[in-house]
Amino acid sequence: MNLAEATEVCERWFAHLDRQRERAKRAAELARMARDGQAAKERAQRLLREMDAVTRTVYDAANLEPAVKFLLKLARHSSGNGEGQ
């Protein structure tokens, strides 16, 4: 792994976290909406199902650990601390 690859892996991970955060906010909004009566509840449930159908993504983190280890090693080396502390 090199610096460009490690950086790309981490940037994809952060983008994934941003999408998850936005999805959680939207789900909370729909939950509040669902408490406003039966019609609102049915609409919120429908919107949540639609959101789930569109946003069902799983992040493949197979390269995340190697990327983070590479960046930590690089950071330790560049800080002048060859002992990795």
The whole-model pTM stands at: 0.69
DSSP letters of 26-77? HHHHHHHHHTT-HHHHHHHHHHHHHHHHH-------TTHHHHHHHHHHHHHH
CA distance 36 to 6: 46
Question: How remote is the C-alpha of 4 from its chain's centroid?
Answer: 20
Considering the chain, what percentage of its residues have pLDDT values greater than 90? 36
Can you give the pLDDT at residue 6?
Answer: 95
pLDDT at 83: 52
Pick 82 or 79 by higher pLDDT: 79
Q: What is the pLDDT of residues 52-79, one digit of tens each?
A: 777 666 677 899 999 999 999 999 999 8
